[in-house]
Chains A and B, each alone.
Chain A
Amino acid sequence: MRMHSVFIRHIERLRRLVVAMGLSAEEGQDILQDVYVEAVKSPPKYRRDREAVQWLMRVTANRCLLEFRRRKRHSRAASEVVKQWAEFEKNSSGPDKQAIRAEEVETMMQCLREMDESLQVPLAMRYFCELNSSEIGEILELEPGTVRKRLYKGRIILADALRKRGIKL
């Protein structure tokens, strides 16, 4: 199993994880480069592609967490996100797209900044990297039930943040 080729094949997924942790493209590229170096320097011996991907996801998540503790996350301005999203919607043909508002973005960004990393990592993996509870459990070395509890807790924290701010939905 060549870690180089596994890394290249799954780079999109690793990138999504880094993005969801609130790191910029530059920071994220540094992290992915570190992960790549670790993968080629001392590659673990895995026979199956799936195990190698899990290892890469785990290393990437851990690298993100190190960076996560050092730097301020989600430092972009809410207005910038809203502007980019408007552009994104313009280019998308999906009929169910709904305009997002700066107040909601600000609330969610603050909530993500304050959220415990033990909740944020599973949330990113589930709702952005599209992994299920079992896959997340294998990567983070947790029971699927524990993952589900964390996902539930994270979802409630996000939803309550909107309600707490009295945002009309």
Chain B
Amino acid sequence: MKEHTCQIVSKEKLVACADGDLSPSETERIAEHIASCPECQVISQALDRSLQVTQAIWQTGEAGWPKTRPLEQFQSSKWSFRKITAVAASLLFVLGMGAVWRMLSRSTERASLSREQALAVEIKRKIADSGDAARLLAAAELLSKYPEAERDVKQRYQHITETYPETTAAAKARKKIQ
């Protein structure tokens, strides 16, 4: 394989330039050089293209995963004071239940994880999923009283069916969507 012989710009600089890690003036200087140096041009193109293809491989791999909705999106809509109060009340209830659940489950979490215990954790996860889905459904139902939140509520139902498809709450959410 032919070595990099350009004495003006090193491979390190070409990588840094491709990644946008250089100052604007240095980027401009290197871009000008690349335009007039066939060797650096080939490396620069190969750097861009190889990364583009690699990211495509990663991205298509990601497409095979079930879709989940980031929690932050739940907090993005503007809520009225009444809605906030209603949801805060339900959250207080949820937190209370969570504290009780934590107390009950702490002892099992500390134990070492044999196969049986792994199964127990899996069951616990399913229970937690079911609880989470039910809580989300309850919050969505609370919001459904407000006509202006119709779109948001629909998204919430959609999220429940996609994220917790096997739960009873998901079945209820599906009916609501229909």
Interface set of A (CB-CB < 8 Å, partner B): 8-9, 11-12, 15-16, 19-20, 22, 24-25, 28-29, 33, 36-37, 40-42, 74, 76, 80-81, 84-85, 88, 98, 100, 104-105, 107-109, 112, 123-124, 127-128, 151-152, 155-156, 158-164, 169
Contacts and interface: CB of A to CB of B under 8 A. Distances in A.
17 contacts: A8-B71, A12-B70, A15-B65, A16-B58, A24-B64, A76-B61, A84-B60, A88-B59, A107-B53, A112-B54, A127-B55, A152-B15, A155-B47, A156-B15, A159-B46, A162-B53, A163-B43
A128 B122 CA distance: 29
Interface of B: 1, 11-12, 15, 18-19, 42-43, 45-47, 49-66, 68, 70-72, 109-110, 113, 118, 121-122, 125
Contacts, number: 113
Contact of B15 (A40, A155, A169): A155
B1 A100 contact: no
Contacts of A169: 42, 45-46, 49
Contacts of B56: 81, 85, 88, 100, 105
A100 B58 CA distance: 13
A40 B62 CA distance: 26
Contacts of A28: 65
Contact of A40 (B49, B53, B57, B109): B109
Nearest to B72: A9
B113 A41 contact: yes
Contact of A108 (B15, B47, B54): B54
Given A11-B68, A155-B15, A163-B1, A108 B46 contact: no
B18 to A, nearest CB: 8
B118 A158 contact: no
B58 A162 contact: no
B49 A162 contact: yes
Contacts of A24: 61, 64
A151 B19 CA distance: 10
Contacts of A22: 61
B53 A160 contact: no
